[in-house]
Structure 1
Amino acid sequence: MRRFFLLAPVAVLLVGIVVMLATEYVVAQPSRRAKDVAYVPAAAPDFDKERHILDVYSPKKANAAGYPVVLFIHGGSWTSGSKNIYTFIGRRLAKQGVVAVIINYRLAPAVHVPEQAADCARALAWTVQNIRQYGGDPARVFVMGHSAGGGLAALLATDDALLAANGLPQNPVKGAIMDDPAGLDMYSYLREMKYEGDAQYLVPFGKDPAVWKEQSAIYKIRPGIPPFLFYIGGETYPSISGSSGRFRDRLKAIGQPAPYTVIPGRHHVPMVLQLYWQHNVIYQGVLEMVGA
């Protein structure tokens, strides 16, 4: 009997793993994955073979008009993270009629946030120039990010100068989906330094307040930017809920609606993990925004 109770948790875990793998297999069937595609030329002096790559997930069924495209940027405090963790997002989006582009970008301390934002802009430029061959519509490109990736996605939606410097004379972003975004207002955050451990963010952002402000999308809000869609965890960090709320208020001040959903009981990391489930409320909003 004792042996049974010792083995039971292991058996349950194995069953759970089998179920998850089976689920992934089923979800993968309607989609194609192009893995480790370089979005920066290998001849570029700063090319990083591990970080300047992306994956594209496309529906297998052809669509003459092209599918809408979502470029997803991972989080990780600007110092960690990988596209390989988020295959489930690519699969779920492709299954629901969206071409998903999941990117890597260089990380701190090797580079700082301005270089990371430039990497994301280069990935966006690659997407616009190449996504048609993967079944996507370059005229319907949206950006999405969680945590630090949300802050970077917001810069792509608001910083036309950033895009122009990286191959995009016109901003192609049709909308931005914020999943518990961090970094929307690092200028205020790093000036206040009111939370324990805040000094760690000086590694990716440096010590120049002018850079903090330049890399904060909240100061780039103006008429004509694409629409934003917010999903915030009810139990997330106060800095994230606070800066997201201020961002929403500034959008409203210029007459731009900003749908803003607080998901009760959700902490920061579960806000992205819940995207494992295809019918999650965030996907529902994404599909409506992109017209899938």
Structure 2
Amino acid sequence: MTMRLGQRIGQALLAALATAGCSPLRTFDALVPKDGGTMRIAADLPYGADPRQRLDVYAPRRPGASPLATIVFFYGGSWSSGTRRGYGFAARALASRGFVVVVPDYRLVPAVRFPAFLADCAASVRWARANVARYGGDRARIVLVGHSAGAYNAAMLALDPQWLGDARGAVRGFVGLAGPYDFLPLEGPITTATFGAWPVPEETQPIRFAGAGDPPALLLSGAEDRTVLPRNGRALGHVLQAAGVPVEVREYPRLGHVGMVTALARPLRGKAPVLADIAAFAHRVTQGAPASSRPPAARP
């Protein structure tokens, strides 16, 4: 497949997804070319008893002798849709940059409301902390990455200590792609259905928990995003910076909400350096951190 043909396919799929919404992306994932030298090394691993509490693990085919830094990737979908099986393209893209990547499912609205899906995401990170060494990942160097609702989930785990407890010490950084971090009052049907029953609305907002001691953050947005306005990233970035937390805020021109995650796919990487920026940040925040002393066990 030539690059030009790949770009045409990717652009056509992006146009369809922009009409249909950002999740699920299974058709997109099935059709776009994947990064070579990577593989899904484990599938359907349970981190809880519910059928939605399952995850997949991706890695380079030849990871080397030392454990690789771990990325836990949370997909979006308005907290009401999505499947990890639509994000193999994103996981393989990140794995191609030298990471072990964990992609969990989590329970969705209307089966649950806030904060049940956060409890699931936290459980998946604790699973990574306890088990990722078996798959070549470093349990002491974890970066949380999420898109849209997944960026919200990642932000809450990174900023509010209640969710991860002692495991939060392994989180070396947080990357949010088009994330909602400051969206009160609850006005739309999505946020009302997801968060409206919680008695203290302020407790649903990531920006409320931002403060000194939080892990470094990379907040990425598309300048053309009309679903989650880029002001969310600017607002959270301002609070983190004021608290002395290392933070980078970037907005990509000509990129919308769906484009923030599809730019990770090979045919669309020319639209914005989303993958390069995530990889550079994740390597930087994990390189100075002490690696786990446990060598990776043989893979099944």
User: Same fold per TM (> 0.5)?
Assistant: yes
The Cα of 1:290 is off from its aligned counterpart by: 2.1
Q: Secondary structure at the match of 2:244?
A: coil
Q: CA deviation at 1:239?
A: 4.9
Post-superposition CA distance 1:121-170 (Å, at most 9, x none): 00000001000010001111000001010000001111111223xxx454
Aligned-CA RMSD value: 2.3
Partner of 2:294: none
Relative to structure 1, the CA distance from residue 147 to residue 56 in structure 2 (aligned partners, 3 Å threshold; closer, same or farther) is same
Matching residue of 1:44: none
Q: Partner letter of residue 199 of structure 1?
A: P
What TM-score do you get using the length of structure 1 for normalisation?
0.81
Higher relative contact order (CA 8 A, sep 6+): 2
> Given the superposition, is the C-alpha separation of residues 103 and 130 from structure 1 closer, same or farther in structure 2, using an over 3 Å criterion?
same
Check whether the contact 2:158–2:168 (CA below 8 A) recurs between aligned residues: no
Q: Is the 8 A contact 2:219 2:249 kept in 1?
A: yes
The amino acid of 2:193's aligned partner reads V
Structure ranking higher in helix proportion = 1
Question: Following TM superposition, where does structure 1 have runs of at least 4 consecutive aligned residues deviating by more than 4 angstroms?
Answer: none
2:59 is the alignment partner of 1:58:
yes
Aligned ranges 1:1-292 → 2 under 5 Å: 23-24=33-34, 27-40=35-48, 47-49=49-51, 51-164=52-165, 168=166, 170-182=168-180, 184-186=181-183, 188-190=184-186, 193=187, 198-210=188-200, 212-237=201-226, 239-277=228-266, 281-291=273-283
The residue type paired with residue 33 of structure 1 is I
Q: Identity of paired residues, percent?
A: 32
Distance 2:106 2:212 in 1: 29
Per-residue deviation, 1:175: 0.3
What letter is aligned with 1:248? G
Q: Secondary structure at the match of 1:145?
A: strand
Partner of 1:4: none
Query: Which runs of no fewer than 5 residues in structure 1 stay unpaired?
Result: 1-11, 41-46
Which consecutive residues of structure 2, in runs of 5 or more, have no partner in the other structure?
1-7, 14-29, 285-300
Q: Secondary structure at the match of 2:247?
A: coil
**Higher Cα Rg: structure 1 or 2?**
1
CA shift, 1:259, in A, is: 1.1
Residue pair 2:146, 2:152 contacting (<8 A) in 1 also: yes
- What is the aligned length? 256
| Distance change >3 Å, CA 22–CA 53, structure 1 → 2 | closer
Partner of 2:3: none
Please report how far the alpha carbon of residue 59 of structure 1 lies from its aligned counterpart in structure 2 after TM superposition. 1.3
Question: 1:16-67: CA deviations, max 9, x gaps?
Answer: 99xx86833xx24443431111111xxxxxx221x10011001121433211
Q: 1:161-216, CA deviations, whole angstroms, 9 ceiling, x for partnerless residues?
A: 1223xxx454321100111112x124x231xx3xxxx0332211133351x32221
CA distance in 2, matches of 1:22, 1:76: 20
Q: 1:22 to 1:235 in 2, by over 3 A?
A: closer
1: CA distance between counterparts of 2:42 and 2:130? 16
Provide the TM-score with structure 2 as the length reference.
Answer: 0.79
Indicate the SS of the match to 1:76.
coil
Distance 1:29 1:61 in 2: 7
| Partner SS for 1:189 | coil
Aligned partners of 2:190 and 2:116: how far apart in 1?
Answer: 18
- Residue 94 of structure 1 deviates from its aligned partner by 1.5
Note closer, same or farther for the CA distance 1:34–1:158 as it changes in structure 2 (3 Å cut): same
Residues 72, 103 of structure 1: 8 Å contact kept? yes
Query: Which secondary structure state, in structure 2, belongs to the residue aligned with residue 162 of structure 1?
Result: coil
Alpha carbons of structure 1 residues 22 and 218: separation in structure 2 relative to 1, 3 Å: closer
Paired with 1:145 and 1:202, the residues of 2 have a C-alpha distance of 21
